Amino acid sequence: MHVKHYSANAKPNAIELNFLECAGEQETLIYKASAYDGDGDAVMDSFTNTDVNRNGKVDELDKALIRVLCKLFLEFKWYAHKE
């Protein structure tokens, strides 16, 4: 999970989530999702249509899960700060 793009005021406005499967030393990218902050308030408000909970359908629950992950990610400040 990482910040993909920063806005002009150095706030993260795109976050990419890569879901990897690890077998020994090998990492395989299973799927990825992205979240974007369209209005610049540092809260992600649009999301890719990704079945993050792997239940076979893409719905509001998937978006809610991505939203929660991004919110926690930002609260932990789990990213490099650009000053």
* Smallest separation, CB 49 to Ca ion (Å): 10
* Smallest separation, CB 1 to Ca ion (Å): 18
- Going residue by residue from 40 to 79, which x/- string records binding to Ca ion, judged by CB under 5 A? -x-x-x-----x-x-x------x-----------------
Tokens of 17: 């989530």
Chain residues binding Ca ion by CB under 5 A are 37, 39, 41, 43, 45, 51, 53, 55, 62
